Chain A
Amino acid sequence: MSATATLPVVNLQPKDYASDAEVRWCPGCGDYSILAQLKKVLSTLGRDPDRTVFISGIGCSSRLPYYLATYGVHGIHGRAPAIASGLRLVRQDLEIWVITGDGDGLSIGGNHLLHAIRRNLNIKILMFNNRIYGLTKGQVSPTSEINKKTVSTPYGSVGAMISPCSFALGCEATFVARSVDMIPNHLQYVLERAARHEGVAFVEIYQNCNIFNDGAFQHATDREIRDDNLIELSHGKALIFGRNQDRGIRLGSGYRPEVVRFGENGVSIYDLLIHDERAPAPALAFLLSRLQHPEYPEPIGVFRDVQAPIYDRLINEQIDRLTAEKGPGDLQKLMYGPETWEVRAGEEPVFHG
Chain B
Amino acid sequence: MTQVTDQKVIHKPIEDLRRAIVRFAGDSGDGMQLVGTQFTNATAVLGNDLATLPDFPAEIRAPAGTLAGVSGFQINFASDEIHTPGDTIQTLVAMNPAALKVNLPDLEQGGHLIINTDAFTAPNLKLAGYASNPLDDGGLAGFHVHPVPMTKLTLEAVKETGLKHKDAERCKNFFALGLAYWLYDRPLEPTLKWMDAKFGQRPELRKANELALRAGYNYGNTTEVFQVHYRVRPARQEPGIYRKVRGNDATALGLMAAAWKAGKQLFYASYPITPASDILHELARHKNFGVRVFQAEDEIAAICAAIGAAYGGAFAATGTSGPGMALKTEGLGLAVMLELPLVVINVQRGGPSTGLPTKTEQADLFQAVMGRNGECPVPVLAARSPSDCFDTAFEAFRIAVRYMTPVIMLSDGYLANGSEPWRVPRLEDLPAIEVRHDYPAEGFQPYMRNERLARPWAIPGTRGLAHRIGGLEKEDVTGKVSYDPENHQRMVDLRARKVAGIVEMIPDQEVLGDPEGELLVVSWGGTYGSVRTAVEQVRQLGESVSHAHLRHLHPMPANLGDVLRRFRRVLVPELNLGQLCTLLRARYLVDARPFGKVKGKPFNVAELVERIDRALKGVE
Contacts and interface: CB of A to CB of B under 8 A. Distances in A.
Query: How would you classify the secondary structure of chain B's contact residues: helix, strand, loop or mixed?
Result: mixed
A65 B463 CA distance: 18
A3 B427 CA distance: 37
Interface string B275-313: 000000000001111101010111011101111111111
A86 interface: yes
Chain A interface residue bracket vs B: 35 or more
Interface centre among A21, A82, A332, A353 (most CB of B within 10 A): A82
Contacts of A329: 286, 288-290
B301 A323 contact: no
Contact of A65 (B234, B304, B465, B468): B468
A50 B461 contact: yes
A21 B479 CA distance: 11
A115 B306 CA distance: 16
B355 interface: no
Contacts, number: 221
A319 interface: yes
A86 B466 CA distance: 19
A343 B290 contact: no
Interface in A336-353: 336-337, 339-345, 348-349, 351-353
Interface in B295-335: 296-298, 300-302, 304-314, 316, 330-331, 333-334
A82 B308 contact: yes
Nearest to A55: B308
B41 A74 contact: no
A53 B466 CA distance: 9
A222 to B, nearest CB: 35
Contacts of A72: 467-470
Closest 9 interchain pairs by CB?
A74-B470, A86-B308, A86-B305, A349-B47, A329-B289, A82-B304, A87-B308, A72-B468, A82-B301
29 contacts: A19-B468, A21-B481, A65-B470, A66-B481, A74-B468, A74-B469, A76-B334, A79-B301, A79-B330, A82-B301, A82-B305, A85-B301, A85-B304, A85-B308, A86-B269, A89-B292, A90-B265, A112-B300, A115-B297, A315-B292, A319-B290, A332-B426, A335-B257, A337-B243, A339-B45, A339-B243, A339-B244, A341-B44, A344-B239
Interface string B180-212: 000000000110010000000000000000000
B242 interface: yes
Given A86-B309, A323-B288, A349-B47, A73 B301 contact: no
Contact of A71 (B287, B310, B316, B460): B460
Chain B interface residue bracket vs A: 35 or more
Interface string A27-65: 000000000000000000000011101010010000001
Contacts of B312: 86-87, 90-91, 94
Interface string A139-161: 00000000000000000000000
Contacts of A352: 241
B575 interface: no
A79 B300 contact: yes
A310 B450 CA distance: 40
Contacts of B44: 339, 341
A46 to B, nearest CB: 16
B443 interface: no
Contacts of B471: 58, 74-76
Nearest to B305: A86
A38 to B, nearest CB: 15
B462 to A, nearest CB: 7
B505 interface: no
